[in-house]
Amino acid sequence: MNLQDYAGAIASEALKLGAIRLSPQKPFKWASGYYMPIYNDNRSLLADWKTRRMISEAFSLMLEDAGFEPENIAGTATAGIAHATTLADRLHKAMSYVRSSSKDHGLGQQIEGLGLSGSYNGCKVLVIEDLISTGLSSINAVKAVVAALGVCPYCFGIFSYGLDASRQAFSELDPKCEMRTILDYDFVLSLALESGYINQSEHGMLSCWRSDPFGWGHAHGFEREEK
């Protein structure tokens, strides 16, 4: 299988398992109070071992394509940990995980799995994320890895909404770190349309969401609910 084959198979399972849900007629209320026509929860993918294996195989192909051989696979806590573990086991590599912030007790560590030194000591690190939305949580993990003396030129994810905010945020990183994902928004929409999961009208509503995600609800009669 090539990467396109894996993307198709993983996207199909994501729709079937409810990891990616598309519902422009009855949108989802996000934590921000905005109504959005898509909801992603990749934890649902953990239910199927074949899908977990396909994700690790797809990540392996992405590494080959990038010509990058990491020495450590760093998962973001908590959603990236399972997939980082599967990939690290497949590649026989060290594995670590990165919290969103340092602990407020014990050793106060933000990264686990580094041993007594608390450092990557200059080794090459791949950050694994499940979803890249605005990119802020992924970038926080990359910055933590770099601060711990890891060399991190790539951050891989399962799915990206393809928002301009994430592309902009990654473009401003120094040292540079490139974001790559198995699935992107346009690919999932195309597959959902082809499979009959959504119709042409719904495809149009979903397509215009990405250009103005926070204005989409208002434009379609779904007003934000303040907390």
Q: pLDDT tens across 82-135, in order?
A: 999 999 999 999 999 999 877 545 455 899 999 888 999 999 999 999 999 999
Token code pair at residue 212: 């103005």
Evaluate whether 160 touches 132 at the Cβ level (below 8 Å): yes
pLDDT of residue 100: 84
Instruction: Tell me how far apart the terminal alpha carbons of the chain are, to the nearest angstrom.
Output: 46
Task: For residue 20, tell me if it sits in a domain.
Answer: yes
> Domain with 58 in it: what CATH number?
3.40.50.2020
Task: For residue 89, tell me if it sits in a domain.
Answer: yes
Task: For residue 172, tell me if it sits in a domain.
Answer: yes
Task: For residue 226, tell me if it sits in a domain.
Answer: no
Task: For residue 123, tell me if it sits in a domain.
Answer: yes
Token code pair at residue 119: 């450092």
Task: For residue 145, tell me if it sits in a domain.
Answer: yes
Question: Which pTM does this prediction carry?
Answer: 0.94
How far apart (Å, rounded) are the C-alpha atoms in residues 192 and 203?
9
Number of domains within the chain: 1
What pLDDT band is residue 227 in, cutting at 50, 70 and 90?
A: low
How far apart (Å, rounded) are the C-alpha atoms in residues 139 and 153?
12
Task: For residue 224, tell me if it sits in a domain.
Answer: no
Q: Which domain holds residue 73?
A: 3-219
Once rounded to an integer, what is the mean pLDDT over residues 71-86? Answer: 97
Task: For residue 225, tell me if it sits in a domain.
Answer: no
